[in-house]
Structures are given as structure tokens and as C-alpha cells.
Amino acid sequence: LNTWQETLAILCTYANEQEFPQLCENLAQRLEKERFDIRAAVLCYMICGNFSQTVRIWASMSTPGASSQSTALQDLVEKMAVMQAAVKYEGKDSIFVSKVSRYAQMLANSGRVTAAMRYLTIIKPSSQYQQQGPQNAASDILKDRIYNSAPQGVMNQIVPTAPPFPFQPVNIQPSVQQQQRPGMMQQQQHQQQQHVAGRTPYGQRSSAPGGMYGHQQQQV
């Protein structure tokens, strides 16, 4: 590993197209885990086109010369966007989605909705993934908000069609049983009121002619 540059040069020169990515990735893993040379490892990951591992290391490294977190985030997102376009990465990477969504949110908050939408377009909608993560859902919601808040003429130049609705529609119309339930409750309350009104108050005699006292008076 002390002469990893020569090893990398040999791989780039003599390894065939099928073997080169795996051999270069093996070299990167050894440099990262055995020699703890992160910069050398990320270089090998970049050469073999391993987008996820490259993004992971980039996100954990501090950007030299960055004056603030926003500047560091901008540098990271720009590098990730360039590499994604170069290797034509179409997979799902949570770090990539999270960082791009965060940067797009920062642009939208500052009024740069056009630039924010341009970055969000490099993230695939969550509907195209079998397993949807919270990062993808957040990017879909942000994309929908920006698209509907900006002028349609501007957004149509970036996104030809409207982004998919990020929420699942729910029918809130009451069912037939729920509609009948208030009427049944009113009917039960009315019956209870009639039943209470027909009772004889405690301590009072019934005025009905067929009562017990009326029967005794007739016998006398």
C-alpha cells in the first residue's frame, strides 16, 4: 500500500474493462480501512466510478477554505452533481438526496426558486424507487411547493410536466352509515325524552282513573 500510486497506474494501464472497477474498488477499500488514507481512497473510488462511496467520504470531509456551512454545502452539492452526470448514476443514495434537498431548500428560502428546481430535477421522484425513504419524500414535497409557487412559464422551461403529487389522496366523504348515525341518535334521544315524560314523579299519586286508589273508592 505504500506504493499504491504505482498499483493504480498498473490497473489503469493493463486491467480490462470488466476487471478494472472491482480491482480499483478493492484498492480503495484497503487504503481506507488498512492505511486510513481517506484522500487516496476517495481518489480510487472516483476512478472506478463508485458514486455512493465517493459521496459518503466527501460528506464526511471538511471542505478546505469554506467560510461557512452554506459554502461547504454548495461545494459538496456541485461536486456530487458533476460526478452524477459523469458516471450517469441513477441509483438511490440517501446522502446525495439529503444534501441536494437541503441545498435546494436554502436556495428557495433566498428567493432563487429557479436554481433550486434545477438541482431538484437531478433527484428522481420517490415513486421510481421500490423503497421510499424520508429524504425522497421531503424532496418530492419541496419540488411540488416550488413548482406551484413559481410562475408556470418559468417552471415549464425547467420541468416540462408537473411533478407528481407527493401525498396520497384520501376520500373524506362520510359513508352511508356515518350519515345515518346522527338521525338514529336523535331518534333515540326523542324516545328517551318521551319515556321520561310519561313517568309519574316520585311521591305523587297517579291521576289515572284505573289506579289503585280509584278502585278502592268505587268499592266503598
Q: Cα-flanking dihedrals φ and ψ of residue 136, to 5°? A: -65, -40
> Higher model confidence: residue 109 or residue 219?
109
Q: pLDDT tier at 180 (50, 70, 90 boundaries)?
A: low
**Residues 115-160 pLDDT 10s:** 999 999 888 876 554 455 556 678 888 888 888 887 777 787 788 7
Nearest to 76 by CA among 99, 53, 93, 97: 99
Task: Please determine, for residue 164, whether its predicted confidence score (pLDDT) is greater than 70.
Answer: yes
> Higher model confidence: residue 193 or residue 61?
61
Rounded to whole angstroms, how far apart are CA atoms 1 and 6? Answer: 10
Contact call for residues 1 and 30 (beta carbons, < 8 A): yes
Between CA 88 and CA 133, with CA 150 as vertex, the angle to 5 degrees is 45
Find the mean pLDDT for residues 202-219: 47
Whether pTM exceeds 0.75: no
Q: Which three cell numbers stand for residue 127?
A: 415513486
Residue 144, pLDDT score: 86
Contact call for residues 51 and 84 (beta carbons, < 8 A): yes
Residues 6+ apart with CB under 8 A from 23: 11, 15
Q: Which three cell numbers stand for residue 169?
A: 389522496
Least confident of 12-16, 33-37, 152-156, 213-217: 213-217
Q: Cα-flanking dihedrals φ and ψ of residue 171, to 5°? A: -80, 115
Residue 214, pLDDT score: 45
Contact call for residues 132 and 123 (beta carbons, < 8 A): no
Q: Is 120 left (phi over 0), alpha (psi -120 to 50) or beta?
A: alpha
Domain spans of the chain, in order of start = 1-48, 65-166
Residue 64 Cα to chain centre, angstroms: 31
Residue 219, pLDDT score: 43
Computed over every residue of the chain, the mean pLDDT equals 79
**Residues 65-110 pLDDT 10s:** 556 788 889 999 999 999 999 999 988 888 999 999 999 999 999 9
Q: Which three cell numbers stand for residue 166?
A: 407527493
Torsion sign (Cα): 138, 142, 145, 147: negative
12 exposure class (CB count in 10 Å sphere: 0-12, 13-18, 19+): exposed
